[in-house]
Amino acid sequence: MLQQKHLLGLEGYPSEDIQSIIDTAFNFREVLDRPIKKVPSLQGVTIVNLFFENSTRTRISFELAQKRLSADTVNFSSSSSSLKKGESFKDTAQNIEAMKIDATVMRHPTPGAPQHLTEFIDAVVINAGDGTHEHPTQAILDMMSLHEKFGKLKGLKVGILGDISHSRVALSNIYGLITMGVEVTLCGPPNLIPPFIRNLGVNVNYNVDEVIEWADALNVLRIQRERMGLGLVPSIREYRAMFGITKERLDHHKKEIVIMHPGPMNRGVEIDGSVADSDQAIILDQVLNGVASRMAILYLLCGGKSSEKEES
Amino acid sequence: MKIEKLAKDLLLINGKIIDPHNRKTFDGDVWLKNGKIAGVGDVNTPKGAEKIDCSGKVITHGFCDLHVHFREPGREDKETLKTGSRAALAGGFTRVCVMPNTHPPLDTPESINFIREKAQECPIHIHPIGAVTKSQGGNDITEMGLMHREGAVAFSDDGIPIQDGAMMRIALEYSTLMNVPVINHAEDECLRAEGVMNEGIVSNHLGLPGNPDFAESTMVHRDLELAKFTGARLHVPHVSSAKSVQHIRGMKKINEKVTAEVTPHHLYFNDESLRSFDTNLKVAPPIRTEQDRKALLEAVKDGTIDCIATDHAPHTIEDKETTFDLASFGMIGLESCFGAVCKVLVVNEMAIALEELIRLLTVKPRNIMGFEADLFQVGIPAEIAILDPTKDWVFDSTHVQSRSVNSPYYGETLTGRVEMTISRGYIASN
């Protein structure tokens, strides 16, 4: 069992629990390779997916994880929500709770919203991304993918590249990786790296080539095209020239590093298509590990006893 | 002014050599071979070398101006890189940085490259400064990284203040990628309003709308704080007020990355001279009070101000031969620079050593931009100014080499004359 009832974020999350989730997730990875990819682990458990912000892959990943575990699921999205009709966040939460549910998976554009939700309901709350704050399940699947590739986490060197300021993926990765003994270096335009972030125990280096030379793996974040209009990124070609993970750039380095991307990718902006499709990239492994990780999280928070017992 | 190709072997003999980089002053000769330094001091006279007698003259590094407007592309009727180069040579300058407020502005790597290529044909070294924001519109940062790769040495929206503090912060943060200076024309546009001269008793007498000193100093203060926070390199251009000097002096104690420049005209004139309604004295920022001018002189002396830059700003006769409110801001300044600053800083008022003044025109500006500053090494392409530092001369229109003539110095007796300038294989004689 995990020490915390909810999974709101990885800040202060115990390392043994992260390890336990990852170990369990590897067990579920085997399930996903079976012809019948379904286990009865969460039969009779009801989960509501509360999506106050658009999502494709995270939502599909969670829904698949829930179905593989035989849970009953209900989906709620902001477009169909009564919030549009003026109902308060609190009333929406308590109404859903009144229908007797066991867990909620929530995405919300405002940092802290999942924490807020725990104050109104008794069900387990899993954060599927709250604004620019945290995206803990993404970080766990990233760590699982690193573990799969390198056989360990402790002592690895991981670069995170891109718009750190607006990235919940970056923040959760930083918390999780530091907890697991991974050395982290952030890279990106200086105006998109928060000035106080070094306090979290990370390095900052604006020179992507130096980071490539240093790192075992590089997590390449999406550069949102919306940012281009805000005067934060001058142009696509400038971004590519300074930070783009192009084939030419990687070819300049003798060593081969692992390339990760949380998706969705802007091919030709932060990453070249040829890099994304190369053997160096583990981007599609991350997607598969996402389902396994979310199965593990749901299982451990919503009724699982221990990973060893279930999968023996 | 006459410009000729340098002789294959040239000896500058009997001069007083001032090496501002190594802080040495000595008598001797300078030997130039194929346009490069071949020897300084005791030189074995090569046979058949051409000789120029520099008795009574000072031989020193060519001057470097971080702030000129050569108006190309777009306003070639005011100045071009070529005509601007002539003005520079007349003033002893062998290296200048051109501001990007052209038409269109220098806000892309392509336009930076245009200047770099055109500069190859000029007899001085010309470095482009890139715009901070696209179209100098104050909203979106330019492709500073690519522009830097093409040769932009600094970034500025000069002429247009970066009004939005958040934009200035972003620009400073982004500039740390390249580690080059950001130069902000500091004037709060709201406080400046319609001001055409310094706000004070003289503007009151003249009935002209005033531009208060705090329009500059408050923005300088903002920029200094942002520079400290971001770790970026801030260069404060054309400091005009005592209040700005105070802020810079204070911040320099805790942030060594801050640098500042002053123009000759802010050191030479005060707002009393505006009583003539001479539109050539209409500049931005405005010429301020005698108290401000004294504070600027002190700031030069104590090192608060790092260098002298002319803000050479050519305008057509039509732009200036009009009423005060309609006239354009700016004056030319390359040709008159040395005579003006030598007069006020060395001879008349401040008793600054000539060696120190030369550093303000050579080593210090070069250091700010990271240009080679040890110019008397053997093998360095010659950049040399030959000066008569005690000569009094009356500035008149024949001394102007710029395509424009908007100078307020006509009739002024200046002290210190540039006799010759050697640059890029050419020698210019006044």
Q: Per-residue pLDDT tens for A200-228?
A: 999 999 999 999 999 999 999 999 776 66
Q: What are the per-10-residue average pLDDT scores of chain B (430 residues)?
A: 95 96 97 96 86 97 98 97 98 98 98 98 98 95 97 97 96 97 98 97 97 98 98 98 98 97 98 97 98 98 98 97 96 98 92 96 98 98 98 97 98 98 97
Average pLDDT over residues A254-280: 95
Nearest residue of chain A to residue B175 (CA atoms): A190
Chain A interface test: which of B150, B170, B178, B179 (most A C-beta within 10 Å): B170
Would the pLDDT of A263 be above 50? yes
A234/B167 touch (CB, cutoff 8 Å), yes or no: no
ipTM: 0.88
A151 in B contact zone (CB under 8 Å): no
A241/B146 touch (CB, cutoff 8 Å), yes or no: yes
Residue of A191, A195, A241 with shortest CB distance to B170: A191
Neighbours of A5 (CB within 10 A): 12
A231/B174 touch (CB, cutoff 8 Å), yes or no: no
Residues 6+ apart with CB under 8 A from B287: B197, B198, B240, B265, B266, B269, B270, B271, B273, B274, B281
A234 in B contact zone (CB under 8 Å): yes
Helices (H) and strands (E) in chain A, counts: 13, 9
A247 in B contact zone (CB under 8 Å): no
CB pairs under 8 A between A and B: 45
Would the pLDDT of A193 be above 50? yes
Measure the CA–CA gap between B369 and A201, rounded to whole angstroms. Answer: 34
Residue A254 tokens, joined: 């003798």
Catalytic-labelled residue, pool B65, B311, B319, B388 = B311
B142/A234 touch (CB, cutoff 8 Å), yes or no: yes
Q: What is the pLDDT of residue A310?
A: 44
Residue whose pair of structure tokens reads 């009094």 in the numeric block: B392
Would the pLDDT of A88 be above 90? no
The amino acid occupying position A135 is H
- CB contacts of A237 in chain B (<8 Å) are 143, 146
B170/A237 touch (CB, cutoff 8 Å), yes or no: no
Nearest to A78 by CA among A46, A55, A45, A102: A55
A231 in B contact zone (CB under 8 Å): yes
CA distance A171 to chain B (A): 20
Q: A91 falls in which pLDDT band (50, 70, 90)?
A: confident
Measure the CA–CA gap between A104 and A1, rounded to whole angstroms. Answer: 18
CATH numbers and ranges of domains, chain A:
15-135+290-302 (3.40.50.1370), 137-287 (3.40.50.1370)
Residue whose pair of structure tokens reads 């060893």 in the numeric block: A308
B145/A242 touch (CB, cutoff 8 Å), yes or no: yes
B170/A231 touch (CB, cutoff 8 Å), yes or no: yes
Write the DSSP string, B360-414. Answer: HHTHHHHHHHT----TTSTTSBPEEEEEEEEEEEE--GGG--SS----S-TT-EE
Give the residue ranges of DSSP H helices in B262-393: 264-268, 290-302, 317-320, 337-341, 354-361, 363-369
Is residue A223 classed as helix, strand or coil in its secondary structure?
coil
Nearest to A38 by CA among A68, A5, A66: A68
- Check if B311 is active-site: yes
A231/B133 touch (CB, cutoff 8 Å), yes or no: yes
Nearest to B83 by CA among B142, B43, B120, B124: B124
The DSSP output letter for A59 is: H
Would the pLDDT of A85 be above 70? no
Neighbours of B135 (CB within 10 A): 14
Would the pLDDT of A312 be above 50? no
- CB contacts of B168 in chain A (<8 Å) are none
Residue B249: CA atoms inside 13 Å, Cβ hemisphere, count?
A: 15
Q: What is the pLDDT of residue A77?
A: 81
- CB contacts of A238 in chain B (<8 Å) are 143-146
Nearest residue of chain B to residue A191 (CA atoms): B173
Residue A257: CA atoms inside 13 Å, Cβ hemisphere, count?
A: 27
Q: What is the pLDDT of residue B46?
A: 80
Neighbours of A248 (CB within 10 A): 8
- CB contacts of A235 in chain B (<8 Å) are 143
Nearest residue of chain A to residue B139 (CA atoms): A231
C-alpha angle with apex B114: B110 to B116, nearest 5 degrees?
A: 115
Nearest residue of chain A to residue B132 (CA atoms): A234
